[in-house]
Amino acid sequence: MNPKRGQKRFIRLIAIWVIIFQIAIFLLGITTGTSGAANPNFDDQYASNRRADVLKILAVLENKIEDQQLLQKAKGKLLTLGDRQTQLIASLSDRVAKKGNTTGSDIAFLLMTALITLL
């Protein structure tokens, strides 16, 4: 068997599989896109989860921060953060709220403020 001929067959086989893979991804993408649009309550649930996370964070910040100007800046910054960032800060605020005045809650609060400031 000629090595060049075998190489051409291999390349042709790879090209066919790449095309099949792309078609499969395209079809799955359409299915996912239409199934997401079929659930109108998804946006409401997403908005309510985000709102709940922001309210958790604000409750902790209001308890810890006494300077109103600084609190307003933090509120404004929270609205610009992404979803994952908001969820991370909300989980830290849960720790602060549950632990009370402990070293762990102080560290969690410092991480919260650092994330809000730096992100």
Q: Write the pLDDT tens digit of every residue in 69-104.
A: 998 998 999 889 888 999 999 999 999 998 878 888
Q: 28 pLDDT exceeds 70?
A: no
Clarify whether residues 53 and 94 are in a common domain: yes
In the predicted model, what is the mean pLDDT of the chain?
81
Clarify whether residues 53 and 64 are in a common domain: yes
What's the pLDDT band for 38 if we cut at 50, 70, 90?
low
Question: Using CA atoms, how far apart are residues 87 and 75, in angstroms rounded to an integer?
Answer: 15
pTM over 0.75: no
Question: Using CA atoms, how far apart are residues 21 and 28, in angstroms rounded to an integer?
Answer: 11
User: For a pLDDT cut of 90, what percent of the chain falls above it?
Assistant: 22
> What is the per-residue pLDDT for 89?
92
Clarify whether residues 91 and 54 are in a common domain: yes
Kindly state the average pLDDT of the residues 3-24.
Answer: 79
Among 116, 38, 37, 47, CA closest to 80: 116
Number of domains in the chain: 2
**What sign has the CA pseudo-torsion 27, 39, 54, 75?**
positive
> What is the per-residue pLDDT for 48?
85
Clarify whether residues 74 and 115 are in a common domain: yes
Lookup result for tokens 């602060």: 96
- Note down the domain range covering 34: 1-38
